[in-house]
Structure formats: structure tokens, C-alpha cells
Structure 1
């Protein structure tokens, strides 16, 4: 069982995690919190974010819940303003909120395609811009303070699945947006990186796990022979947010069990 880090290397920092109510987002919030962060769990699911915060508080994490639709600029701006009003600053953003809508390419509706890009790409732009503006002002007051932004990408940014074209396109956009942000914000001591998860045991994959043949297909393209744990992504987020990653910016770190290195499938017992 993985345990979130306890080094307290982020003690006193303030973080926002979007899409933080469950799955990878919750794991990021947990890992940041156990490293000493005050964490705002932002999610469009207000009840979900409240439940997540209750659990984090039981674990000793200082956390607060906020409702936010990351595709709406006024809600994102309010989220950042409320965070600063509540905790005094904003040092870390994990832009994790995302959705997926599946259909064959010829059947995909314009509405579904737009909906995915609104959350997955525009949402990263809006949250990143709002957070960065706050971090720039903080850096002016305390030169060198800056901040860290972590955008959640995917192996599907570069490896296409034809039935989720909108998701693939959105994550490809996130990768290049991450690089653009890193270049634009480096002078302000703000680092911007991305994480590209492979197959991680979230609710979506858990629904597949009961189908042995489907899981075998997942594992056949994962050289390490297992799916990832959300905490393995959360721990990367905590690392990228910390001074241990102080010279890293503009990078996408893939945590995929070796999938992107693979050009063949591997046998799965049974």
C-alpha cells in the first residue's frame, strides 16, 4: 500500500487541486497535504469535494472545499480570489479537472467534442492563467517566491485511441500549452510541468477490472504488468511542486508502467 509522503517539504504552501473530489485529483490533494500544504479541493461536484475534504481532514490535512466549473472564467477567478482570501497566498496549482466522452469519430457530436475541450484544455488555460497572475504578484512582493503549476495530461496526448478523439486532442493541447506557459512564466520564477498518466486504477478503470479479457488488453500494453495507483501520480505532483524539482520546467513526466516505450504487446498469464 502506498502512503503519501510525510517529509513536509511543502510546509506552509497553499495549493489548489481542480477535479480534486476523487481519483487522481484526490490523490494529488492528499499527497500535497501530507507534505504540509494547505489544500483547496475544487470540483464541479460540490458534495464530492466536501466529502473529499472531510476525509483529508481526518488524515490531518488542512483542506477546504470549493465548487468550480473550470470552463467558466468568472468561477475560476473567484476560486483563486477565495483561496488567497482564505489562506493568504497561492503557491501550487494542480490543473487536474477533466472529462472524456466516447464515440466513433464519424459519430461524435460537435457538442461532445466541444464539451471535452472546454474542460480539458480551456479549463487548464483559465486556471493556469488565473493562478499565474496571482503568483506573478507574489513574486513581485517577494522575489524568488514564484510558484509551481502542474497540468494533468495523459499518454493519450501522443497515443491515440480512435473512440475518444476529443480527449486525445485536448491532452495533446495540454502538452503544448504546458510548454508555452513554462516559457512565458519562467522569468517570474513560476515552473510549469505536466504529468501524463497511463492506466491508473480510477473509477473508470475499476469498472473495466471486472472484465478479465478487457483487463488483459490493458495489461498487455503495460510492461510492468500492473495498473498504477492514483497515489503514484499524486507523489509526482508533490515532487514537481517542491524545491526538489526547482530546475524542471516545460516537461511532461509520463507515469505509464512503460507503455510509451512499448512497440509490441506482452503476454498476460491466464
Structure 2
């Protein structure tokens, strides 16, 4: 694992141990498999055990180990416990991917305080709780045979955290907060642990199934995306691998915009004007 190898060697994470939350499907599943293909053992967690089992099969097919932890990740004790579980199983912890999150769009006047707080907790507090539990264990992890691993935290934000559209006051606020949490945590944890994130654009996961079945909506989304297509989970997984490996060793406190080049919202959900 010498840092003097070829450029492709820098993208390897051989022998690393990683946690990926929200890994039952979509971005989390794609990221877990990508990390395993690049050499990491992976702990995956989400609510649905059947989904995790399918992802674990793909991870193990690469020859890497996979630990499945079904959990309600709105339970902060369960989230924090993932860090120790990873060390118990793998003997180390190098990478944390804070992927769990999400909030349904909702009109402003229907977004009450509880909904806003739930969105913040699910998208931001979970990342903080897991990272806080993980940091001492990451710092205590032994060096790998070729030298220390790149200890790294990656957060999954959203383009709605840097743009504005109707219906996203809860989700967009939470994702903007997560992006700035990333910048602040990077300062606190430097130089030993790097913290970076990704502003995710429109990616074809189960969250966009309602769009895939509507040619008009799909056309609108693709037409407003400069690259003219919806992204794939592998597009995000490649970014996570870059940020987690030695390829990204000179980045911290940064957010990649993996979004097809969009600078404005791409889908009109039809929320009406506020009226008396």
C-alpha cells in the first residue's frame, strides 16, 4: 500500500474497514459494493434485513467480508453502536459513509416544527452521532502492512442543500446543515481524519421511481440537466471511493457536486402558491 505506486493504486482501499448507513438499496448499496470491489470490508445497515442480505451477497462475491446490521437508524443509540460493532468484527475502522437520510417534500404551511426537527435529526444528527462514536476507534486502528490507511468520513448531502425550490424547506435545510457540518467537522478532525461530502443530484434510485414511469416528468428532469441524463448510484459510489482513498488524500472540508451539472432545481412538483 505504498503511496509511491501508480495512480490507480491510490484508488485502492485494500484492507480498510468501512461503515455505510442506509445501505439496503440505492446510493448506500452501490457505495458498499464499490468499496468492497476496491478492497474494503464493509458493515452495512438499514431498516430492512432482506434488502441488506442482497447487498451483502454482492459484497461477499468480491471476496471481502460483510457485516449486516438491521436497525432503525433514527434510533441514535443504534447508530452509535455501529462503530464498535465494526471494530469488533473487523478489528479496525477506517471509513464512515453517512448516507442515511431523506425527507419527503411538503408544503411550507404543512411543515410543522416536529417535521422540521425530524428531518434535521435524520439527516444531520445521525451523521454526528455515528462520526463521534467512530473517531476514537478510527484513531486507535492499527496501521495496515503498507502503512496507515486514509481515515475518512464522507457525508451524502443533496443539491437541494445548495439550491432552492418549493416544498423542500425541511429537506433542503437539513442537507445544507449537513454540508456545513462537513466543513466544520473537517476542521475539528484535521489532520488525522479527513471529512468530505457529496452534493448529490438526480440519481435513479427507488426515490425517483415515480418519475421513471412518467415520460413528461422524466423529460423535464433530463432536459434541465446539462448532461441530459439522470445519474446512476455508481456515479456517487465513485465519488465516495475517491474521497475515501489515497486518491483524495489532499481534500478535507470539501463537497463534490456530482449532479450532471445542474445549477437549479430540475423538477416542478406542482406545489401551489400560499393562499389565505
Q: Which moved more, 1:223-232 or 1:122-131?
A: 122-131
2:86 to 36, 60, 83: 83
Report the Cα offset of residue 145 of structure 1: 4.9
What is the aligned partner in structure 2 of residue 58 from structure 1? 61
What's the CA shift for 1:99?
Answer: 2.1
Cα distance in 1, alignment partners of residues 73 and 156 from structure 2: 14
Asked if 1:123 is matched to 2:126, the reply is: yes
Contact kept? 1:30, 1:61, Cα under 8 Å: no
User: Which position in structure 1 is the counterpart of 2:140?
Assistant: 137
1:154 matched to 2:158: yes
- The alignment's TM-score, normalised by the length of structure 2, stands at 0.86
- Is residue 113 from structure 1 mapped to residue 116 from structure 2 by the alignment? yes
- Consecutive unaligned residues of structure 1, counting only runs of 5 or more, are 266-270
Query: Per the alignment, in what secondary structure is the counterpart of residue 197 of structure 2?
Result: strand
Task: Compare the two structures and name the one with the higher helix fraction.
Answer: 1
TM-score, reference length from structure 1: 0.88
Could you report, residue by residue, the CA deviation over 1:170-206 in whole angstroms, capped at 9, with x for unpaired residues? 100011100111000013x100000111011111213
State the SS of the aligned residue for 1:200. coil
What is the alpha-carbon root mean square deviation over aligned residues? 2.6
SS in 2 for 1:235: helix
The 5 Å alignment of 1:86-235 reads 86-138=89-141, 145=149, 147-187=151-191, 189-235=192-238
Say whether the 8 Å CA contact 1:194–1:252 is kept in structure 2: yes
Q: What secondary structure does 1:178 align onto? A: helix
Conserved in 1, the CA contact under 8 Å of 2:56 and 2:66? yes
Q: 1-side partners of 2:68 and 2:254: how far apart?
A: 29
- Name the residue aligned to 1:268: none
Distance in 2 (CA, whole Å) between partners of 1:6 and 1:227 is 30
* Matched position secondary structure for 1:163: coil
Q: Is the 8 A contact 2:92 2:142 kept in 1?
A: no
Which segments of 5 or more consecutive residues in structure 2 lack a partner in the other structure? 1-7, 268-276
Partner SS, residue 20 of structure 1: coil
Cα gap change, 1:146 to 1:130, in 2 (>3 Å): farther
Distance 1:68 1:132 in 2: 21
2:24 equivalent in structure 1: 21
Q: CA deviation at 1:245?
A: 0.7
Q: CA deviation at 1:97?
A: 0.3
Superposition deviation, residue 263 in structure 1: 10
Q: Secondary structure at the match of 1:102?
A: coil
CA contact (8 A) 2:164 2:265 kept: no
Larger deviation: 142-151 or 65-74?
142-151
Corresponding residue of 1:245? 248
Partner of 1:153, secondary structure, is strand
Query: Which whole-Å CA distance do the structure 2 matches of 1:207 and 1:7 have between them?
Result: 38
